[in-house]
Structure formats: structure tokens, C-alpha cells
Structure 1
Amino acid sequence: MTTDEAAIPTSVATAMRAELASIAGSTVAEIIVEVPSYTDAFTGKMGQKISNAVELALAGFLELATAHTGADPSTPIRPALEGAYDLGRGEARSGRSMDALLAAYRVGARVSWRHMSASAVRAGLTAEQLARFAELVFAYIDQLSAASVAGHADELATTGRVRERYLERLAAQLLAGAAEPDLAAAAERAGWQPPRTLTAVVLPEAKLHGAMASLDPRTLRSTEDVPGEEDLVVLLVPDADGRSRPALLRSLDGRHAVVGPARPWEAVHDSYARACRALALGLEAEGSAALDTDERLADLVLRADDGALADLRAQVLAPLADLSPGAREKLAETLRSWLLHQGRREQVAEELFVHPQTVRYRMTQLREIYGKRLEDPRTVLELTIALGVDLGKTSHPSATVAS
């Protein structure tokens, strides 16, 4: 049979076209019954749009079905295809998956086939023409479904890109310390629910993918460059404070990360500033662990002005200047340990791997050199600050040198 012989006669199509509005109404009613998630969707503007799309699709189908030589039954006419594409985008904007729409297409195909085939038979359609009619119905529905799937995917991709840009802008404003009303507005635009706290994490971009997999999905990523550093990125991790902080640090193990303190979400710029300060000072963690700035507060405070610290160290160690380099190093090392252990001779000896009598001997030398200054609180404070930082431990400004 030729394409012309198989095409539905114009007279039959005219009779069927007269019933389109009724068939569309029946199709919509059946979809509401069989696809419950569309019950609300068919009320209001969206409902009218879907009803119009159903009638447009049926009309497009009839136009395709009456095509003669050269017609391609697998290609719907453009208006119907565009209508199906728009339906898919509408589903994505409504927050629905494609499941309901594809189910609606199946129901629509069955109902419209039932009504239109009955109308076609009454109008005198032959068995061969009816078979072609069935073939066209299935091909047509497949193409409409594909167009809707494409529309749904495109809308999600577009929406995702727009939201990603909003999230990036929010992260930039947070790091810049923008005003709280501006931050709240930016969070609302991005559809991002603010957490209690945020923690700034700086790490190499190459380590980003693995880290993100174990972090809170609300984690923000900044596209801003880290001052003075290359190939580093900034993450703002929600609610990683208190008992949750150890889990964050474990998830960053081996990723060369620097972790700032947890701060109220609108004040995370302070967390970022501290992480950047730790980077600038060259602080390092032990082994593969992430650098936890909460554990290095003494270093951060004492090295806030490295020049002043160097001057202070030179000043308080000036009494040792006349000694040989070796003797000067041993006495300075002993004095530092003595101060940090608050005069506990056994602990000093253990730390320095020497006999307690050696500690006693060295401290006698130091008392002879410094005299009563080792009993002066101000001198003790200055010595503790100047010497304690090298150990990376919390100093004890109130320590006194015991006899």
C-alpha cells in the first residue's frame, strides 16, 4: 500500500476533528482519575494550559495522519512538539518529575485512541487505514514524550545554573562580610536555608571533589581567589561546630585543608579570615590531618606580628649573647621548657631527654645570668611569649620559675 492509500481520508479526519473538544475533555477527565498528582494541576492557569495542549496535540495528530506522500509519521508538526516541550518545562518549574506527565501521555493515548478510532470507523475508515492510524498514535506519543523529557531536562539545567550563580554570589557576599539584610536577601534568592553556623575550609581545588562527597549538601563553594594563593578554593560548611567538628576534620584528612572556626552563618567572614591568616603564617598540621585553627590559637595570637615577636625574642635572650652558640641554644631550650612546664624539673628532663640534675645545673646558670629578673612577672611573661611559640603549645603567662 502506498503512503497516499494509507493516509486517513480528509472526510474522515474532518468528522474526527469535529469531536476533538469532546475527546480532549474526556482525556483530561481520565488523566485526573488515573494520575492523582494532576488533580490540583488541572485547576487554574496550569490546568487550562494542559487542556489546550491536549487539544493541540490531537489536532496535530490528525494533521499528521492525513498527510500524503513524503510525510514522516515519526515527526509531529512543530506546534504540538513545542507544546509538549513547554509541558516538560512546566513540570520542572513545578518541582515534579516526569513520571506523572509520562503516565498522563499513556492514559491520553489510550483514551484518545478509543474515542478517535470509534469515530474513524463510523466515518468509514478501512482496516488497513485503521492499522496505520494505530501506528501513528504510538509514534506520535513517543515523539511528544521525548519532547517533554527534553523540555524538563533543559529547564532543570537552566534552573540549576541560575541557582548555582546565586549560591556563588551568596558565598562571595558572606566572605566579604556583607550586611545581614543583604545576606538574608541573597540566601532567599538562592533558595538556601541558612544554618546556625558556617565554617570556612580552604583546600586545594584538586581535592575538592572527594571532600564535597562527604560534606553537608548545603555547603557553599566560593569562586573567589584566596589572597596570595593559587589553586585553592573555599568551602563554607554548615553546622560543623561542637560535636560535629571532629567529623568534619576526619572527612578532610589527607586533603591539605585549613579549617577556620565555626561562626554564626552571617559572620563566616571571620572564620575565613582566620584560615587565611593560618595559611599566610605557614602553619602546618601533623601528618595528613587537616589544620584545625582552633588548635593553633596560641600560634595565631603570638605570630600576629612576626617582626615584633622576633624583636621580643632578641630582647629577652640578650643576656645569653656572650655564650657560645651551642651553650646559648641549650640554655634557651631549657628555659623554654622550664617556663612551659611551670618549673616541674622531672617533666623538663623528660622532654629534653636529659637527667634532672642537668636541668638543675642549667637553671642555676640561668639564674646567675638573669638574676632576680626570673622572678619578675613581666619578664616571665615576655620570656614565655618569646620562647613558647616555637613549641606550638598554649603558653602559661602566669608561670613562675620555681626554686
Structure 2
Amino acid sequence: MSSQQRHGLSAKTLRELERASGRLAKASVAAMEERLPWFGRMPADQRASVLLITQAGAAGFVRWLRDSQEALKLTTDAFRTAPRELSRWISLRQTVGLVRLAIEVFEEQLHEFAADERERAALIEGILRYGREVAFAAANSYAAAAEARGAWDARLEALVVDGVVRGDAEESVLSRAAALGWDPAASATVLVGNPPSDDPPAVVFEVRSKAARIGRPVLLGVQGSRLVVVVAGATEGGSKEREILPTLSTAFAQGPVVAGPTVESLAQAHHSAAEALSGLRAVVGWPAAPRPAYAADLLPERALAGDAEAERQLIESIARPLEAAGPALLETIDAYLECGGVLETCARQLFVHPNTVRYRLRKAAELTGRNAGHPRDALVLRTALTVGRLARSRGLW
């Protein structure tokens, strides 16, 4: 039994329907212009493209009636160019609206081609089934286009993160980031650690779900055994800002997570990435490091690992201010550290009153931000003074 016999349509009806496919397509486009305000605002060349696509769909309906066994293939072929063109102008929802309206116009006019009620019912049933397949074909094509755009965005995002890590030219990084919707004026903080999975899509989903929870844009890239995340916006200040990095840290695998300093924009993000990666290499030297650990809190370990930038920061923020404050303050810090933090012993060694030692320790804390009575700060102070002396002996200071 032929396909047209199964549909209950005569060869004459199919020929007349085929000859009228152009008229039906024009009537559909006219209805679109009348009933859909946004369609009328489209440029003429785009409306003409919709007309061509509608004509292809009308011709495809006749082919579908002639050979329904190849329905899906014929429908896909007939609409192969539609999403590629339409997806640049209109959304999937609008495309489905166009298909629905075209089907309504076809349904209203198909009775003219039916020889009797039986053929009329067969045509109505056929256009409804065909319209369903067209809608599914359009949805599949839009989904494929979205996946292709998503894959391209993922590659572009990986290039941006790689450029941030390597310190590529600012223009290339910023232009690619702008294509991804990144605000060029937003501050940035780099977070590094181990990825939670070997499956990149799973990693992306995990990080983006955490970022959506805190409402911050992120750029991320998996580089071998490390995950690099660039977070937009300030990560210090109020309580909400301070929770940003700890929340994102839960998206990393077990193990250390290190945050670089917050920089003014993505153009300076390389500095944050460099310090974060340096901290990740050195954090093993601090077993009790918090999660995330800040690169600025890992200066002793980074300096011991050979990071010249960490040595410079220790000298500039601690050694220089203490030396500039005078020999008494520097001598007090040295003596206090050598005495194991025992105030009275330090005072006896310096032949001063304990209150004098307290005053000098407070003064040192104001200058450096480090309290010599705190074990961790004491380590930072001792390392900074040692690094400063070594730099001076080499003529670097």
C-alpha cells in the first residue's frame, strides 16, 4: 500500500496541494506579520528568509504525505537551514510560535484541496503530525546550536583563564572575556586547587552552581591536575564578601585551596594567579593552613620555596618598616622571638621594663600588621627579618 493511500489522499489532491504550496507559505507569512508584532519589526531580508523557509516547509509537507516512512529525514532536510539562520534573529520560543501559526493557516485552508470529508480529515491529521515533527526538528537544531555555542564558549573561557595564568597580552584576554560577558571594570580574585572530578562538564557544573549561589560571575579552567577559578568582584569587606571564597572552595576536591590577592581588574589578574599558584606549591609546608589559604598568609613558605616575589613582599611590608623605626624596635623583636615569646625574659635581656617591651611590640604590630605574640605571625616576622638580612648581604637591599 502506498503512503498516499495510507493517508487516504488521491494523487490529484496531492498535485493541487503541491502547486499551492507557495500560496500557502505566503498566507502564513502574511498571518505572521498581522498577528505577531515582533515579526513585523524584523528587516525585510529576514522576513524574506522566513518566507523561503516556510515555502520549504510547505513543499516538505507534500513530500511527507507522499512518503511518510522518510518523514523524519525529509523534515530535517527541509528545515536544515532554518535554525542556522533563524537562531541569529529569533529565539526558540518565537520559532515555535511561527511554526504553530503556519500550521493554523495551513489547517484553515486545507479544506479547499480535499475532495470529501475523509480527505479533509486526513489532511488535518497529516498537518498536525507534520507540525509536531517540524517543532521537534527545530528544537533539536536549536539544542545542537546551543551545544555548539556552549562548546565554543568553553574553549574561549579556557583560553581566557590560560591567558590569565600565563600573563598574555591584556588586550587579547580582555577582548575574549568581554565576548563571554565579563565586566572589564570588575575586580578579580584567582582561586586554585584540585578539580573535584576528571569529568570537565561535571567540574563546570559544580563550580557554576556554587557561583550562582553567591551571585558572582566566574571564569574557570581545568589545567591538568589543577582547577583555576577567576572570581569577579571584591572578596573582602562585609560578611557576605568574606563568605565568597569559602563557598567556592567547597567546589574543589579535597586538599589545599589557595586564593591570590584581589586585583582591580581582569587585566591585572595575572598577578593574583601567579601568587595563588606560588601559594599552592608552598602550602604543603603549612599543614594547618585554612581552606582557602590566602597567598599573602603563605609568604614564609613561598619564600622558603624560592619565590622572589614573596621575599620582596616580606622585605617591603615587614623588614623595611621595622628597620626604619629604629634599632630599639628591631632589637626588641629579635630578642622577643629568641626568648620564645616570654615577655619578662625579653625585658631582662634588654634591661628595660616589661611595659616598654609591650609598647614596642604594639608599635611593631601597627607597622607590620603582625603580632609577635601570635605563633603564626612570629614565624612571618622571623622569616621576614632573615630574608631581609640575606638580601642585604647579597647587596639586593
TM-score scaled to structure 1, two decimals? Answer: 0.67
Q: Are the structure 2 counterparts of residues 210 and 358 from structure 1 closer, same or farther at C-alpha, using a change threshold of 3 Å?
A: same
Contact 2:164 2:269 in 1 (8 A): yes
Q: Which residue of 1 aligns with 2:35?
A: 34
Aligned equivalents of 1:139 and 1:12: distance in 2?
A: 18
Q: CA deviation at 1:39?
A: 2.9
Aligned equivalents of 1:108 and 1:184: distance in 2?
A: 44
Structure with greater helix percent: 2
Aligned equivalents of 2:81 and 2:157: distance in 1?
A: 27
AA matched with 2:20: E
Q: Are the structure 2 counterparts of residues 220 and 103 from structure 1 closer, same or farther at C-alpha, using a change threshold of 3 Å?
A: same
Contact 1:85 1:149 in 2 (8 A): no
Q: CA deviation at 1:362?
A: 6.8
Q: Are the structure 2 counterparts of residues 271 and 340 from structure 1 closer, same or farther at C-alpha, using a change threshold of 3 Å?
A: same
Q: Are the structure 2 counterparts of residues 86 and 195 from structure 1 closer, same or farther at C-alpha, using a change threshold of 3 Å?
A: farther
Q: CA deviation at 1:196?
A: 2.6
TM-score scaled to structure 2, two decimals? Answer: 0.68
Q: Which residue of 2 aligns with 1:54?
A: 54
Q: Which residue of 2 aligns with 1:86?
A: 81
AA matched with 1:213: S
1:291 to 290, 293, 300: 293
Q: Which residue of 1 aligns with 2:109?
A: 115
Q: CA deviation at 1:297?
A: 4.6
Which residues in structure 2 correspond to 1:150-165 (within 5 Å)? 150-165=140-155
Gaps of 5+ in 2: 198-202, 312-330, 352-370, 386-397
AA matched with 1:161: A
Structure 1 runs (4+) deviating above 6 angstroms are 341-344, 361-364, 387-390
Is the counterpart of residue 236 in structure 1 residue 238 in structure 2? no
Q: CA deviation at 1:206?
A: 1.3
Q: Deviations over 1:8-44 (max 9, x none)?
A: 2233333334433332222112123333333334x33
Q: Deviations over 1:119-176 (max 9, x none)?
A: 214xxx1211211111111111111111111110000101111121111112111211
Matched residue SS, 1:261? coil
Q: Which residue of 2 aligns with 1:136?
A: 126
Q: CA deviation at 1:86?
A: 2.8
Q: Are the structure 2 counterparts of residues 195 and 86 from structure 1 closer, same or farther at C-alpha, using a change threshold of 3 Å?
A: farther
Q: Are the structure 2 counterparts of residues 210 and 166 from structure 1 closer, same or farther at C-alpha, using a change threshold of 3 Å?
A: closer
Q: CA deviation at 1:300?
A: 4.7
Aligned equivalents of 2:164 and 2:178: distance in 1?
A: 14
Q: Are the structure 2 counterparts of residues 210 and 191 from structure 1 closer, same or farther at C-alpha, using a change threshold of 3 Å?
A: closer
Which residues in structure 2 correspond to 1:244-255 (within 5 Å)? 245-252=241-248
Matched residue count:
326
Q: Which residue of 2 aligns with 1:222?
A: 221
AA matched with 2:258: V
Q: CA RMSD in A?
A: 3.9
Q: Which residue of 2 aligns with 1:14?
A: 15
Gaps of 5+ in 1: 226-230, 310-337, 365-383, 398-403
Matched residue SS, 1:223? strand
Matched residue SS, 1:262? coil
AA matched with 1:221: L
Which residues in structure 2 correspond to 1:286-325 (within 5 Å)? 286=288, 288-297=290-299, 300=302, 304=306
